[in-house]
Amino acid sequence: MRISYKNSFHLFLLIALVFQLTSTQAQVKLSHRAKISVFTIAPGGADDELFTQFGHSAFRVFDPMNRIDWIYDYGVFDFDAPNFYLKFARGKLNYMLAKRDYKRFLAAYQHYNRSLTEQVLNLDSAEMQQVFDYLETNYLPENRYYLYDFFYDNCATKIPLVIEESLGDKVQFDRSPTEEDRTFRDLIEPRLVNHRWGDLGIDLALGLPTDKIATRYQYMFLPYYVEIQFAKAKITHHGETEPLVSNTRVAFEALPDEGKGTIIGPGMVFGALLVLVIGLTYLDFFKKKRSKWLDFTLFLIAGLIGLLLFFLWFLTDHKATHGNLNIIWAFPTHLVFAIFLLRKNIKNWVLTYALVTAVVLLLLVLSWFFLPQPLHYSVFPVVIALGIRAFYIWFYHNKISNS
């Protein structure tokens, strides 16, 4: 294919124009009327999705002279990414920095009835330019993606990181010891009071790293604490220490939440399950039989949960899911055990497995309040139910063989 001189010239002009537009955008100099602020979005209502319960954080850059009113949001991921769900499950999904129009951003959260608080930062022109340039550089296609980590690298932790990396030691956040030792798990739980099943799911998935004591600075993995920390933070101007936030306003105040959240929680369901297991075991004992369907169902589900915990622990990059003590009661080999429990003739190793399981579960119950990882309260009746059936399996078949 031949390219004429005229076409080549037009192509050159097009490339030059694109380059000029890109360079102009990268070199925007903020005016004296510019402001940079931090937005904190309140958690969703009781009936909203689970992921909304932790809130959200973002930057706003406003400069009427340059017609700029942009939101810089580090909490975005691409649903169209190849192997999205597999990458998400394995902890290999990249999140990215998105830039959007402020009015659309505000309208979206007004639609979902979530309060927004804006903290205008006390920055001089040079400091604002530094933060703005940092965000713009971060927004370049080669820089905007990052590997998400729930506790250490998310939309909230990026906020203080941007400020510290762009302004250096001018900014001081409160790093003093906390009044009480609180783990990452302790900090999560109050956000899930209206999502009791979601609370159970998250609690089951997260292992010992979640029970590490968090520093005051690390609290900022949650947007709520970003707002608190920024309100207390200081910045040094010409040798004088001043508040980092010059002004705080409520951009939108949500209407009262009328949601009721989850009515029937896991504690109620699993408590009823334990009563059912005790009742059926009592009937089995006096009728001299064993409810195979019950044993199969219980240990099959426990084994499937154990398989998931094994996957999260050993086959993913999710650091918070490692060292999960829930695997003590939900062991993957329960799957094999469950299948063999359906057979008419029970092998000796199955009975040994049942007895060992019963002993392990008894020890787990006795040490419940001394474990380094607090297990979810609703799991307690499940552990007792599994222990009762494991012991009954051993007892029943030994009695048959000896009669």
| Phi, psi angle pair for 264, to nearest 5° | -100, 110
Which of 61, 59, 80 lies closest to 160, judged by CA?
59
The SS3 assignment for 230 reads: helix
Cα separation, 391 vs 371, in Å, equals 23
H-type alpha helices, 74-157: 84-90, 102-111, 125-139
The SS3 assignment for 288 reads: coil
pLDDT, residue 312, reads: 95
pLDDT, residue 46, reads: 87
Q: Which helix (H) or strand (E) holds 117?
A: strand 116-121
Which of 93, 100, 84 lies closest to 39, judged by CA?
100
pLDDT tens sequence for the chain (403 residues): 343 434 443 443 344 334 334 433 457 999 999 999 999 999 999 889 988 999 999 999 999 999 999 999 999 987 667 776 666 667 777 899 999 999 999 999 999 999 999 999 999 999 999 999 999 999 999 999 999 999 999 999 999 999 999 999 999 999 999 999 999 999 999 999 989 999 999 999 999 999 999 999 999 999 999 999 999 999 999 899 999 999 999 999 999 988 877 789 999 999 999 999 999 999 999 999 999 999 999 999 999 999 999 999 999 999 999 999 999 999 999 999 999 999 988 999 999 999 999 999 999 999 999 999 999 999 999 999 999 999 999 999 998 767 6
The set of residues, in sequence order, having a beta carbon less than 8 Å from that of 113 and lying 6+ positions away, is 45, 254, 255, 257
Three-point CA angle 25, 120, 128, nearest 5°: 35
Cα separation, 310 vs 306, in Å, equals 6
Cα separation, 44 vs 59, in Å, equals 19
The SS3 assignment for 152 reads: coil
Whole-model pTM: value is 0.88
* Burial class, 238, CB count within 10 angstroms (exposed 0-12 / middle 13-18 / buried 19+): exposed
H-type alpha helices, 266-402: 266-287, 292-314, 334-340, 348-366, 379-402
* Domain architecture of the chain: domains with CATH: 28-178+215-252 (3.90.1720), 266-402 (no CATH)
Q: Are strands 234-237 and 171-172 parallel, antiparallel or unpaired?
A: antiparallel
pLDDT, residue 222, reads: 98
Q: Which helix (H) or strand (E) holds 200?
A: helix 196-205
Question: What does 49-95 look like in DSSP terms, one character per residue?
Answer: -GGGGG-EEEEEEEEGGGTEEEEEEEEEE-TTSTTHHHHHHHT-PEE
pLDDT, residue 31, reads: 98
pLDDT, residue 89, reads: 64
